[in-house]
Structure 1
Amino acid sequence: MDSLLSISSSKGVSEVSDAGPVEVLSSRHIKPESTSIPTTTRFFDAKEVLHALQNRPSLETLSASLKWLSKPGNFRIKAPGPLSTEIIASIVNDVVPHFWPILREKNHSKERRWLLYTLTSVSGLGALLARLKLVLRKNPSPVGSPKKDDINDPIQVLEVLDALQQGDTFLTTVWADIQQFVQNPTQRTILWKELVSILASGRLLSVAAEALNSLDSEGKQFSWLGEGSVFTKWLGENINTLARNSKQHGMEALNSAALMLGKALSLGYRDGLIATAFHGMLSGDITRHEMELGLHNRLNSVDQTRAVSGIILQLNHKFTSSKKVLHHRLISGSSALIKDLCGEKPHLKEFLLNWLICDSGGCVGTDLGLRRAVITAISTFEGYAQKSIRKLLVQFGDKIHIQHVPIIVQEVCSQNLLLLAGRIFRLDRNQLHEIARSSIFINAISNRLAASVERARFLGMVTGMSVSELVDSADKRMKFSVDTINSADTDWYMALTGIQDSVGSLKDLEIISHDEESVLSIKTTTTSRETRHKQPVSSLTPVTSKIIAIEEIESSDEDDIPHYQKPDSDASDSDEDPTLINRNKPTPPVYIRDLITYLKDTENHDRHTLAMSHASSLIRRKSSYGTEVKDYIEDLASLLCGLKDEYDIGEWQKQRIAAMVAIILAEPIKMGKWFADMSFSGDYSIAQRASMLTAVTLAARELAGYAEEDTELTNTPHISDYKNFPSKQLPPKYEKLYLNATDPLKSAAYNLETKILAPLAASAADRLTGPSILKTRTFSSRLAVESRKKPITNKLATLLTDHFFFPLTNRWRIYTLTHGTDPKGSSSSSSSNIFSTPLLQTHLLKTLSLLLAAAGPGTISLPTLTTEFWSILLSRPILAAAREALPVLEAVLFGLLTLLEVNGAGVEGEDVSKRRLAEECGEALVETRAWVGVVMEGTVGGRAASKEEERVGMLAAAVLIRVEEVVERYQRLLIGALAGV
């Protein structure tokens, strides 16, 4: 063997032509025991390179081997074959574990580039994936802190994959190499499908995620390889780059990109993939639109539908994030884009039609501007506008739909119906006149007017009036003399038929981004200009003085000079280092813009803590003075909702909630709905969403007149509270260990629960103490009667429905529609199922319960609120979560008890309310009694083992008592009502 590997030359390092051999003089080896490789290596073919790589080469030998493989004309390492596969396997299994820690250094950039060149192929990517699987199999348990010299270190393989797949040209490079080195078309197709299987089917993503899970924070820098949302964005950028090169490489590149895209749509992270793969189309780039449209046309029908659905969601993000003044252009550009995507494809037109009907979720939760764009686009297809409005009318008038579908779905259905009616009226009046006289329309309005829910009747009335205003003369138009129909909401609905949109150009989507920047700059300039004008005059004009005369005053009595005492303490007189004294202490913020600046300055402890302690009082003072709070209210709310306790301040969370409560009270109509929307759709943590729900609850209770009762819950200190404080008190960090921090929402719910259960306990005690005739009754004295509190003014009753309660329930309905009925199930979208956690479900149910209780039995829309809340409490996701989590079960029972109490089930003589419960909610009453009976068997019958289970059993017993009071009294009425269902 030694004779075969004799030294061929004793010269130094020399190189011949690119196609010729490479001669290297080696003076040292990485492995000392490696003696099979000669000091000078001369390569003539790939077998010699393979032999050198397999026998522990030195760094010089490795460098020469990689350079020889990278030289064009020597050996086609990227062409599939037995020898190339064996060389790649040797590089991945032998070279990478030993040499990668050296090659990743800066002085070995050439060797690293040659190594990555040899692995930039389907075979190279497959070999790295197999190596990563092998390493994970050898290390099944978490690695912890892997050593750098360990050959089974998964970090090395992840680093090679990270370096190999950087940028957006990886797919283009591999595709071009396949076209260059593989001549057989069938073999090309097989290789590309193998690459699709590795990247788009989730093989690499799943293995990388498993590897990252076994590493500590040291390996988290490669998290994009195992994070689905980031990985799909990278894949979408590469697909877009490959499709753009179709002009250079031909239509075959576009077909390959479509194959990769179609498979990637099933990964489950559609939003990021669509946003990057169709970026030019969504941004209005005309030069890239035709190419991306061709990419979409080459997908199969199912993938085309998925892509259109994802593009519609991306357009919805544009509507929600852009200014209202730009929506007209955005509607025109979106309608043009949707029209081009559908083209002459019937399956996409049917998809848009079903999307508008929103029977299975569809357009529920999307912006009205997006629905206007879809309706504008679908109206350009012959006969589809008429087909859509007829299907919507059938659904709109269906009795089961009216009785069981959430109100938000019915509202969206009514809005789409009115938009289509106005569109058809402008296209062909005779067709709308025919539809208005048809039995479908008449039955729909009749069924709506006969509905038991007030909101359902309102939608029927406003739809009938709007259509009648288009087709009937002034003396024959449909009119209703109801108080609820004379409101701003009615005018808004009736104005939908007069909206005129047109199909514009894709350039409108491109103009949106530029116009948004200009509007923002104009608004900033205007705000600063207004701020300057609002400054006091004294601060703008210089202070001048006029010298009238100079008079000398003579005084010989020095006693006239006042004597001042020396200060008690001065920082300069202390023994501390004067350089450490902070003489520039910040002052409390005076303006809202200063408050925002202080809150953003999280690196300055004094400014941040000062802002948090003064935020609530400053917002409350400014809310009734000027428009400063209104101008900055959304920015301030977003900032407070996303803040984190950087300095571990003891009262930080309470101060933050108090500030959010002040924001809601400043603009309850606007910010109540804003907080409800952000608690579901915003990018916040579980704790931040829970605090937002708590703020909504406390603000609503303060509007209802419970401010004094909730003072202890918010724990907002007054100025007088600082005067008399304990002289000996634990530091905040130790106080947390000994004192349980109470949740304001939990405390409010506990107080309400105690008030409801107190009469039940008193009634039970009376039954055990003897007949009522033997008991004495104490009469109230005149002084006690006069000292009773006056009834409070409940402002919440008029705001609850549209601005607090229904925004939360509608968001929950949208969440269950988009994430399925299984509370632990995974969604196909990229958004996380964060509201499936028991903590947030408990907070949501208690928030709704406290809102309903704060509004009280005098609320006008109490029947509608009762029906909506009862259906949520008995819905499948809530009951499924209640079976597995005890806090959710307690929240459900608390909600049922509050619901029955507000509707008068526990008040003597409330025959009207009890009868209404039996008539309108008979099915829910029976279902509640059956379900609570099962809960009672599991707690009381099963002998609860903890205080929490005893509490649940007590709540279940209270709910069962209230339900039995209604069921026993109106049993005949319930039997008749349920017989007609």
Structure 2
Amino acid sequence: MSLNHPRQAALQEIISKLQTQITDLQTLLPLLCFPLSRVALLPPQFRKFNSLSSKDVPVDVARVFPPIQRALLESILPTWETILDEEGCSALSLQYFCPDAFSNAATAGDVALCAYSTILSLPLHERSVDLLLRLTKEYPIDKLFRAVCTIRDPARRSVTWDDCLRNIFAAPTKIANTFKGQGIPDDLGMPEYFNNLSIRTELIIHTLSKLAVPEDLSLVTQLFSKLVHIGAFPSSVHPSPSQPSFFHSVVPSLRRRLQDRENESYRKLWNRTITSLPSVLTQQAVLASLFSSLTSLGSTLGASARDRGIIRREAVLLCDVVGNIGPDDDLWNTLISVILARSWGENHSRVFVCWLASSTHSSQAQEAFLPRLVDAWSALDHIKHSLLSRHQYLSTLLLLVVTHFPQSSNEVASVALSPSLVSAVGGYISHPDASVRRCGMLVAEVVASRVDKNLNFDDWEGDDDGKVWARRLRQLCSQRDIDFEPSHEDDGVQGDDAEPGPSPATEVTLMTAARRPIADTGMPARRVADYDSDDSLTGYASPSSSRSPSPTPSELQEIEKDPTLHVGRKKIPRPVYLAQLGELVRNSGVGSSEENQEADRIEMAINIGEELIRRKHDYGTELAENAANLVYGFVSLSNKFDLDDFDNKIQRIAIALVACCPKTSAQYVPCLFCRVPSLRSCRCMIEEFFKNQYSSTQRSVMLNALALGARELALLPIASQALQQLATQRTTFPSKMLPPVLHQKYLGTSSDNILRPLLEGITKAAIDKSKEVTADKVPEVVRERQLRIRRPPKITEVASASQKTSIPSSQRPPSAISFTNIAAEWFIMPFVNRFWVFLRDEQTREERTAQREALYQYRGAGTGLILNPLMLSAFLNTMAILVHASQNAPQWLALIAPNTLELAVTVGSRQIARPVSEDLDDDGDDSPKDSKSKEASVLTSALNVALIVLDGCLELDGGRSLGLEHTALLIGTGEWAGQVFNMLERGIQVTGVGGIHEVELQRATAGVLLKVDQITSKWRRSMVGHRDTKYNNPKIQFEFTSDNLKKAQEIISRYPPQYMKAAVIPLLDIGQRQNKGWTSISVMNYVAKLLEMPPMRVYEVATFYTMFNREPIGENFVQVCTTTPCMLRGSTEILNTVCSHLGGIKPGATTGDGKFTVIEVECQGACSNAPMMVVNDDFYEDLTPATTKKMLDAFAKGEKPKPGPQSGRHTSENSAGLTALTTKPYGPGEFCTPEFR
């Protein structure tokens, strides 16, 4: 009913009076009491003031109360609040906003709804904030919900609820803006307010569940949608304290209510609420937040009874809140997308599987979930780019689902034989990260065991690369979490804190138990101890035989070792000389009758090789004569006889060869008696590395030997304990050693990733290192001279007679070889040069076959080849270690640093070989293929090389030689690293970046950028950013004219010969004037030649002084002064006039006809005639826009205006005339007394 209705005239009159000025309290109180009395909200103590009477006047709260509330806030309370307090009538005004507790009238909620809207529609002040705070406490969302539910019209109910939610959710923002973030009441702060709102929302659901016929859930789902939009459902397991979280606030009350198993209506209402949410995105947000609020175990793979009880309890919570979800439910796809598309932890994977297994549709749910889980685990993008945490999450989820099926079930069998799983296991095994590889290997073994197949990778001992995680997961899968009772203990103590984990003494027992195939029947699986065969077979069950049992493998080994059974077997003699050692591995002079002893010969050679080589070090020339033969023999060996610790022993022998005889092992040397390389020393380790006959393992042995042998020569530590130099002879006191199997077991030898820990330590030190103070030890200039290559002396020093007769050179003891003296000649530069030759040959070979069909094209980056990313990254890692070890070499700054940096930048930024997948790309990846994309491992290794080179340059000479002599290389390095950094910042995926490579790549990129910035910031003024162009390159000839040459010689003659370089500035000025006003690279080179000084010194001068123009200029060089005095006199207007009059060019540009070049300059020393500008060599002063245009037009016509002030005055005289010295000056003695005249 409208207020204009006759029956509403009294109310309209009261509202009009309240909106006008009221003069006394006796008039105000009746006006306030009457509307409250009509809605049964007038307190009894104020009924005496209700003097107005009207016959049955109906009151529409939504129409009447908002104008009265607005009038109270805007005019009445600011004027009458103090008087109302004194008279005890303040509660009367409060009833219009927050009716007190005694009022149970149905209209109280409607009044509160109107109060929210009125208060928030007006500017907030202290009074309205107090009212709003009281409203939030006495009329929270659940009371407002009850008030809205009383509205019978569905359309009006929906609109009212929408307005209510908008006001409720806008309150904290309005408060925060009013208080500007300072002094906000605690109950109105963002997290506290919305957490309380979440608790009240749960109370609404609990209240609705008690109704016999629950109300329509549209209002509740509307409330949930609002909560999702403001971020009250975070998906983070550990949300920020400043972020509200619905489930973190209501889970305690949820658990308390759900423990009552008879409260079935409460569970069903939660299921209906989540299912009825309006959009899939809203459902995903609510489910993700619910999952993130689950209890996390201290040890996510804890297998104690208490841990399993907690997992079971969380699964029951999900079952109660979300319900028993099956493949036919509408929520199924949303639920699966949340589980698989997000990165949860192993704790959540256990809860998810236990939840699916405990539902009423468990078998159908698991059968539908398993194929989608296998697809996610087998995706190529996941295998290549996912982090280790996601790999372990999906692997745990897959193994738990698989182990919930019965042994040999059809579902698991179909998964085990599926092409996607088989190809995915191959992708995992070829992954560069060992921890990721472990996930694929573990899944393959467990899935095979579930279908009664035998698959054993036998690489699970130790604590590195995810092995501990794999063992704990095996132990977890031995039992199911669903078989345990839910735990209702306090959540404060989580995980394995209740029961301690396994001790080191029981690790082997746990490993053995965890490796057993998982069976649901409870029958133990038999396992032969210490038996590992790639061709093991399990026989059929048969009745016992009367024959004696067959010997076990251990008994066969004892029989084989029995010396009485080897009477006719020839014993391999222990080699004494290196030539004999070489014969053992090179098969020289071996007859057919001795071929069956090849395994014994190789075993003897690898067992005694390192000791014999190190013993012969510095013992005559025997090692030098046999080193090449030993290199060929040992690096080409393969473990075809399955010898114990073969890889580690070969690696130690190769290191010993490099460390004890580097000049032969590292590079071939020509024979002294012929011009061709000698057969005994020409093919050595570097040459052999670039031959295609070796496997990746053999090439890794060579690279590791070069790197670790170099560090041993440089007296630097080796990271791997298994490859440390022998302290004593191996054969001495054999009784002091454990048996070989136990010795290797407790020693923990491993040939994988030998260089990675070493390189990580080097790069980390390069990033974190601060510059040491060494100025008091050796001056920087002296150190720079010592570390640079010295020119050979022109006069050879002759030894004295006493020196000649002391000791013959042939009898002097050989001096110890220092790696810094041989690094450039025998290690790094041959390695770099041989790589360039090899790269040239490989690219030529690829180009020759490029026109053939894809199947017959040669690929230099194929599997096992040197340009393959795996081997190329190992090559770069070796180069990085060699460069770091040779940092004190005399040739480091001049040769090693620039050449290796150029190699790293080239390999890291250019496509050096055609990838195998360029034409045959059948991996299903729809992402765009970048022809210059790099494997993450190659990119990281190249950046590590650059980082070590830059760090060494900074330490040795502060980056001076690299910045000044190799400026283009330094700038190119910075640009390359910047591109990689920007690519990573934009989130572009690099091939193979998953796992550990992501962190290493980001760290290396940031480190290179920091080092380049340190060098460029220090030497920026001296670095020339020159790039050859058609008009500016050294090939353009330049010489002084005869007149200018005479001027130059006259200037040079002013200085002593040793200080001739002092004439560089005037000679550059002459050259610039002759070269049409700019200084080209040819001018600078000519001046450097004329003054007999390095060109770099001339470049430094030319780039430091702004008077020398580095680019061509126009016929008229216009320089507008814009310093403060000229700017105050209008130089900005003059500059704008010049630019606009010359066709709209910008400062620093040249007009299209080449007649004018305009630049801004600093003070020209003519401030008294400001504004001014310089054209060529003439000053033009006292400028105005009109005179400026006139001058420019004259220059354009080829004329030359008169220099000087353009205002008509002479030089800097006052334009208004003389103000002093206007009379004739008096002469000497004119005003003196007569006697002094």
- The reply to whether TM is greater than 0.5 is no
Shorter-normalised TM range: 0.3 to 0.5
Compare the two structures and name the one with the higher helix fraction: 1
TM-score with structure 2 setting the length = 0.36
Q: TM-score if structure 1 supplies the norm length?
A: 0.45
CA radius of gyration, larger in? 2
